[in-house]
Structure 1
Amino acid sequence: MAHVFAANDSGPRAKSDLSKKERGSFENLIMLCANCHTMVDKAPDAFPVKMMLSWKREHANKLQGLFGAVRLGDRASARQVVEPLLAENHAIFKQYGPHIDAARNPESGAAEQWRRKMLTRILPNSRRMLAILDANRHLLGGNERATLEQFRQHIDDLEAFHIEGNREDASRFPGELPKILED
């Protein structure tokens, strides 16, 4: 297990404003073999934070694709698997999203709560949906395939923002996604 940002202020990729808790958090850890761990720590400039977070995200996506998606026989069965994930994400967005009144109050903790929900529920649910929809692409119509690709870009943008700290605007959530696989 390696740290993206160093565990202490004198380590590779140190970030002094991180608390001890943040340094040991899941978001700041990455699994590497012993050789790679040594290599990234000895040459931190060659392995910047964004690169390491990208590795972590790509690995998580591969695992989710392996364990979270099955090919289903019909649209109704696929919809049955996707719909609860859509519903949970929508409920979280409505209750905690950046549009709520509390999000405008910097002392409310709403931004931290939204970030936690984004990292622990919305992004994993979305990655699972992508894996399921990719495995069942044969069930999608032409417009649904375009919606799936818009959703893929939306999730990539959200991950870049919430995981990698990229401050570019994210693409919009595709409005047609909640209707995917409905007959």
Structure 2
Amino acid sequence: MFAASGGYCQNPECARELFIEYDKKFIHVAEMAHVFAANDFGPRADDALSKEERGAFENLILLCSLCHTKIDKAPDVYTDRIILGWKRAHADKLRSLFGVTVFAKRAEARAAVEGPLRENRHIFEEYGPHIEAAKDPESGAAERWKRKVLEKIIPNNMKVLAQLDANRHLLMGNEVSTIERFRQHVDDLQARHVHGYQEGASRFPAEMAELLRD
């Protein structure tokens, strides 16, 4: 959901940033909203939906707290058709923003993802939690790393995934598996730096370095 939002409220008339800096700390103001209610009594409830369908990606949208309150307080105004339209429009805008292109050649698709991957690698090497300064809690290294993750690494990861998903027809062999492991790495990174979970994260797949190479 955070990847699909691109860091902004998915109401196209709002587009508030969901990750903001406050008092030298990064916080998120995102709320996961249901298109059709999670139960039989909530806004836009549909008792024909199963529990799995109510919790599925297709039935969720990421909004700022104000927009979430609006759609649930006025479900007759903000119908399921309108909310799903927001989600589609937001996805189209992100594809345009990220410059997603369907390519005919593997080398072209590779070139489109090399830049963001290279930048992420450089940021990790310069600011990652393994550097010497990270051992000193007074150095500010941990806060700097978190800022880099939120402002650069996560958006770059979303650009890469968007390009790869648009060019799945060019993938060969184990490359689909590599991308899915990368997707889980991205999800774990977001869980730690956006949601604050302290669980261990999966490692960046080394095979990404050879992805789409002939």
TM-score greater than 0.5 by the shorter chain: yes
Instruction: Give the one of 156, 178, 181 matched to 1:147.
Output: 178
CA contact (8 A) 1:64 1:127 kept: no
Structure 2 unaligned blocks of 5 or more: 1-13, 32-62, 74-86
Q: How many residues align?
A: 151
Shift of 1:178: 1.5
Q: Which deviates the most, 97-106 or 64-73?
A: 64-73
Structure 1 pair 20–37 and aligned structure 2 pair: CA distance change class (3 A) = farther
Aligned pair 1:76/2:77, yes or no? no
**In the alignment, residue 36 of structure 1 is paired with which amino acid?**
H
Question: RMSD of aligned C-alpha atoms?
Answer: 3.2
Structure 1 unaligned blocks of 5 or more: 5-17, 42-57
**In the alignment, residue 171 of structure 2 is paired with which amino acid?**
L
1:114 aligns with 145
Q: Identify, as 1 or 2, the structure richer in strand.
A: 2
Q: Distance in 2 between matches of 1:165 and 1:113?
A: 16
Q: Distance in 2 between matches of 1:131 and 1:36?
A: 26
1:99 aligns with 130
Shift of 1:27: 3.1
Instruction: Give the one of 176, 179, 182 matched to 2:207.
Output: 176
- Secondary structure, aligned partner of 2:184: helix
- 5 Å matches for 1:58-69? 62=91, 64-65=94-95, 67-68=97-98, 69=100
Instruction: Give the one of 145, 155, 160 matched to 1:124.
Output: 155
Q: Distance in 2 between matches of 1:105 and 1:163?
A: 23
Shift of 1:172: 0.8
Identity, % of aligned pairs? 44
Q: Distance in 2 between matches of 1:124 and 1:84?
A: 13
Shift of 1:167: 1.3
- Secondary structure, aligned partner of 1:102: helix
Q: Distance in 2 between matches of 1:129 and 1:83?
A: 9
CA contact (8 A) 2:181 2:205 kept: yes
Shift of 1:142: 2.2
- Secondary structure, aligned partner of 2:206: coil
1:28 aligns with 29
Shift of 1:90: 0.3
CA contact (8 A) 1:64 1:131 kept: no
Residue by residue, what CA displacement relative to the aligned partner does 1:21-41 show, whole Å, maximum 9, x if unpaired?
65xx67336754866325789
Structure 1 pair 77–34 and aligned structure 2 pair: CA distance change class (3 A) = same
Shift of 1:143: 1.0
- The normalised TM-score by structure 2 is 0.61
